[in-house]
Amino acid sequence: GAEAVPLDVLRDALRAGTPIVPARAEGTRDPTLPSGRIRLPAPWWDRLLDALGTGFRPRDDLAPRTHVGVPLANVSDAPVHVVVSAWVEVDGHPHPAFRPRTRDATDLTVVRRLVRVPPHDAVDVALPLYLDRQATADGLLADVRVEVRPLGAGAVLHALSTPLVVERGDRWATLLFGGGVLSALAGLALLAVRFRRWIDRPTRDLTTVAVFGALSFVVGTASQVLGLGLGSVLGPFAPFVLGVADDAARFCLLATLLTLVPRSGVLTLALLLGWLMRALALGAAHPVDALYLGASVLWLELGAAVAGLTTGRVTVGRLWLGLVVPNGLLTAFGLAVSVVVYRLWYAEGYLLALVLGPGLLYPAIGCALAGPFAASLRRVAP
CA–CA separation, 286 and 256 (whole Å): 28
Residue 163 lies in a domain: yes
Same domain, 163 and 269: no
Nearest to 121 by CA among 151, 83, 76: 76
Q: Does 347 fall in a domain?
A: yes
Domain boundary among 168, 203, 222: 168
Query: Is residue 1 a part of any domain in this protein?
Result: no
Full DSSP string of 181-241: HHHHHHHHHHHHHHHHHHH---HHHHHHHHHHHHHHHHHHHHHHHHHHHHHHHHGGGHHHH
Q: Which of 168, 184, 199 is the last residue of a domain?
A: 168
As to burial, measured by CB atoms within 10 angstroms (0-12 exposed, 13-18 middle, 19+ buried), residue 38 is: buried
106 and 176 together in one domain: no
Cis peptide before 163 (omega within 30 of 0): no
Same domain assignment for residues 17 and 114: yes
Half-sphere exposure of 19 (CA within 13 A, CB side): 28
Q: Where does a domain end: 168, 195, 216?
A: 168
Q: Any idea what the CATH number is for the domain that residue 60 is in?
A: 2.60.40.2550
Determine the Cα–Cα distance for residues 163 and 89; give it in Å rounded to an integer: 10
In a domain, 2, yes or no: no
Say if residue 248 is in the same domain as residue 162. Answer: no
Please list the ranges in the chain whose pLDDT falls under 70: 1-4, 49-50, 53-61, 101-107, 284, 380-382
Per the domain annotation, does 52 fall within a domain?
yes
In a shared domain, residues 78 and 176 = no
Q: What pLDDT does residue 53 have? A: 65
Cα 223 from Cα 366, distance rounded (Å): 15
226 plus 348 within the same structural domain: yes
Same domain, 340 and 209: yes
**CA atoms of 366 and 349, how far apart (whole Å):** 24
Confirm if 16 and 158 have CB atoms less than 8 A apart.
yes
Task: Tell me the residue range of the domain where 215 lies.
Answer: 171-380
Q: What is the pLDDT of residue 319?
A: 94
Q: State the total domains in the chain.
A: 2
Closest CA to 181 of 334, 288, 291, 285: 291
Q: Are residues 29 and 131 in the same domain?
A: yes
Closest CA to 38 of 123, 126, 162: 162
CA distance 32 to 30: 5
Cα distance between residue 27 and residue 23, in whole Å: 6
Let me know: does 243 contact 327? Beta carbons within 8 Å.
no
Residues 224 and 361 in one domain: yes
> Are residues 195 and 64 part of one domain?
no
Do 135 and 188 lie in a common domain?
no
Q: Can you tell me the distance from the alpha carbon of 81 to that of 113, in angstroms, rounded to the nearest whole number? A: 11
Same domain, 124 and 207: no
In a domain, 22, yes or no: yes
